[in-house]
Structure 1
């Protein structure tokens, strides 16, 4: 197989906080890095030039596709890597990229990769799939003044390779400071409204209008836009119609926020499932809503349905919310089943969580409550937890001892103290005395 040359392209404006990272992650695997500036007033261009990027300028004409296509026109590589300035791959994933491209067939237009949204504390807030690598050919170009997407001219669809299990890039653009950027809100709103003047029944852009209002906290305007988008949708949707999925999901959420009646929310859900039956996010959002309302039986049903769909149909262009909430859903399933008296299922769900993260206090508390309520002896509890926790690890033993103490389970407390070594007991008791005196624990 022949090695493929990759041209990294990006369009930027006032990205001095991100540009260095944006050009660093892939520098060693790119044959060139092309930065198209659309009017920066900060040090973006200066930093990019220092880092060896090829700099071009494109006057901003309220058209993201036009700017991106200009960048592609400058590229010489066999493949294009087109990421935004707030997107990057980890070093581990970056190393995989050349080999993946080397073995891609000649009939492939691009790669589907995963996306992981991070907040300001680097917590995962969402995910999904995107095309960020594609062949450098004249028939592959972006369309859309905003929320642009890649198309193959003269063809109904792209020929893509699913690399979501191998590659996922990190996206920080939805961090809180970005959400507060009013200039971006106004820019996006104006572009979308201009498009809708020409195409008032465009269901995609009506959905984008709803997203824009929702992001600015204007839920009533968002709901109206989403309802118009739903009304303008074709009778039958494509199975991977991610935009329509977003529209229905967000309509459910804003309707819930605006305290719509249960009948209205359930009617939206029913219609969404009829249009896109493989999308787990509808079930996930409904489960979350029922949980907040204390309707645990319905919440459990919805969460179980969401997980079943995710496992059956995968995450390509679907399941963004479900994927990001998976641990929280399993926690709720454990607690929900406990409240409904189904201890066997509750234990199973708690174990799934604890096998992923044995420091998850929600799952551990639910698990011990299940054992308490079903009269499982302390000896059996300790034996069961020994399959999850390492009793030779002081940290694991301390977690369990503290939980037993907090829950008032004196029998468990005695047993967990008993598996501490003498020196460990002394250190634990000293730490607890320090905590009770108000001094910070080391």
Structure 2
């Protein structure tokens, strides 16, 4: 368990009061960890419950939260704004039950919100378990102000109202924290299946977009959802619709080009995919949020045997995120294709150290060990690959077992 900060850690009592605002429904499993992470940081906890049937409300009250009931209307912004209406602190911190606050960044946060002209703080969120998109940037800490409200019923943000207030009152500033402040594990396959997020997201966003066809942000989000489901024609149409709106926000432009790159690659339109990935990387957007575009563009170069360009992109990706297992794995593929087996072994070993359950990495490691003449090491790697394939892909495990048997190896 991570030690929680205390007032002694931060010196004098902090003068700015912070209200945690959360909306929940049936979150008895995750909520305790979320509330514990801010127990010594926030001055009040506001929980808006939208219809829980488990122990969520009881748990929230055990942590000292004030709980309000609000009927669910398929509108996240509405529920969040209800929580803002109930808060009394100087600042609002918004968390979901599947998020935790990372206390190590509190001193930076404290310095930021002590500035009289700071209106909001953009926070870096760590996406737990995500291989290619380990971070996202979200505005979840802002002054309690009547003109700051969430907008859109899904993928709701405070950003538009922050920008509108800053346009009217030019002294306000927005600060970005460089270190991760929130950890999020809500997009694991298990969590998505449990909450049926995809179905809900499509229902809410498609209805909203019918009434707001000029919203490039929702075009991006809904188009990306369709692409992730293999519905490329629908996804491409929406992403192109969003791009035609010429969004000024770099984050939206990046996402549109990135997901267009995915869709075009799936359609084997590799030149178009490359163009979109390059435009995504050109967006004035923090490099730490572009990791997936670097990796995917490197894969396109690898497919064309442009090894130097692919290696350069993956090297850049690893400077951004040294613990990116897929970047190490893809470097291994490049080195193996070039016959640089020693470098390939080192790359695969790094990938396995970061992601021990990757059957493909163990299998490729077995191949390069064999090419190096390291038979015992090769056999051990293949055995591990078979064991892992047996869990998720029995057919591949049997194929690999038969291939080795044909070579006279008993596994």
Normalised by the length of structure 1, the TM-score is 0.66
Q: Which residue of 1 aligns with 2:41?
A: 29
Query: What is the distance in 2 between the residues matched to 1:8 and 1:128?
Result: 20
Deviation, 1:231, is 2.7
Equivalence map 1:91-240=2 (5 Å): 93-94=102-103, 96-97=105-106, 99-104=107-112, 105-119=115-129, 126-151=134-159, 152=162, 153-156=164-167, 159-165=173-179, 167-181=180-194, 183-234=196-247, 237-238=248-249
Q: Is the 8 A contact 2:34 2:99 kept in 1?
A: yes
SS in 2 for 1:163: strand
Question: Contact between 1:280 and 1:305, CA under 8 Å: does it hold in 2?
Answer: no
Deviation at 1:179, TM superposition (A): 2.4
Distance 1:359 1:193 in 2: 39
**2:272 maps to what in 1?**
264
Residue 147 of structure 1 deviates from its aligned partner by 1.1
Aligned-pair CA distance for 1:249: 1.4
Partner-residue secondary structure (3-state), 1:56: strand
Q: Tell me if 1:73 matches 2:85.
A: yes
User: Does the 8 Å contact 1:111/1:134 carry over to 2?
Assistant: yes
| Deviation at residue 19 of structure 1 after TM alignment | 1.7
Give the direction of change, closer, same or farther, for the CA distance of 1:40–1:132 in structure 2 (3 Å limit).
Answer: same
Q: In 1, Cα distance between the equivalents of 2:255 and 2:265? A: 15
Q: Tell me which residue corresponds to 1:332.
A: 330
In structure 1, stretches of 5+ residues that fail to align are: 315-322, 374-399, 408-435
Contact 2:48–2:70 (CA<8 Å) still a contact in 1? yes
5 Å-filtered alignment, 1:49-88, equals 49-88=61-100
Q: 1:208 to 1:133 in 2, by over 3 A?
A: same
Q: Please tell me whether the aligned partners of residues 32 and 53 of structure 1 are also in contact (alpha carbons under 8 angstroms).
A: yes
Distance apart, 1:201 and its partner CA:
3.1
Residue 51 of structure 1 deviates from its aligned partner by: 2.9
> Is contact 1:112-1:161 (8 Å) kept?
yes
**TM-score when scaled to structure 2?**
0.71
2:258 is matched with which residue: 235, 249, 268? 249
Post-superposition Cα deviations, 1:161-206, rounded to whole Å, max 9, x if no partner, equal 33232x3322111121232257543332232222222222322111
Deviation digits for residues 45-69 of structure 1, max 9, x if unmatched?
A: 2222233210012222333222212
**In structure 2, distance between residues paired with 1:203 and 1:137:** 26
The structure that has the greater radius of gyration is 1
Alpha carbons 1:203, 1:230 under 8 Å: kept: yes
Shift in Å at residue 360 of structure 1? 12
